Amino acid sequence: MALSKLDNLYRQVILDHSSHPHHHGLLDGSTNQIEMNNPTCGDVIQLQLLVKAGVIEDLRFDGSGCSISTASASMMTDAVIGKKVEDALTLSEEFSQMVQGNEKEDLDELGDAAMLSGVAKFPARIKCATLAWKALDQALTEKQETTVAKQLHCED
């Protein structure tokens, strides 16, 4: 059946993360927060970070999105909590390259997030996978309290 092709995208571990996301729900005290949306599909993500001495001590997310964006956010929290800010930014770049099909050999640092490499074959869904990481990037590099950033425009 044709839907077996979907296995390349919706691996079981992705479906698990999307139905039972990790670090979901918001923090009481956070140092950085951001809300970002993807106007093409209506997905919204809120990220809250607790950064101390250059280390991401905690990271939580909320919002509404498809299974790819939810799973990606969940996997991202697993990958970057406990990491230094600059290491998290490096991981973000690695993830971005991976979902565009520019895969490196060593993706161990990404953990479960490496399972999203199949997204590269579904160009329309790359932005679903990168939404959380883009939000993380901005939250770590911009100083303002809350930023609403947009990624795309719509066509019809």
Name the residues that contact other proteins, by CB under 8 A: 1-7, 9-12, 15, 39-44, 64-68, 122, 124-125, 128, 154-156
Residue 148, CB-side half-sphere exposure with 13 Å CA sphere:
4
Q: Count Cα atoms within 13 angstroms, Cβ side, for 95.
A: 31
Of the two residues 32 and 74, which places its CB atom closer to other proteins in the complex?
74
Q: Which is nearer to other proteins, 32 or 37 (CB)?
A: 37
CB of 54 to other proteins, least distance (A): 35
Q: How far is the CB of 29 from other proteins (least distance, A)?
A: 28
Q: Which is nearer to other proteins, 64 or 141 (CB)?
A: 64
CB of 40 to other proteins, least distance (A): 6
Percent composition of the chain: helix, strand, coil (DSSP 3-state, to 5): 50, 20, 30
Give least dist CB 113 to other proteins, A: 17
What token pair was written down for 128? 């679903």
Give the burial string for 26-60 (b: 16+ CB within 10 Å, else e): ebeebebbbbbbbeebebbbbbbbbbeeeebebbb
- 82 Rama class: left (phi>0) / alpha (psi -120 to 50) / beta: left
At its nearest, how many Å lie between other proteins and the CB of residue 2?
Answer: 5
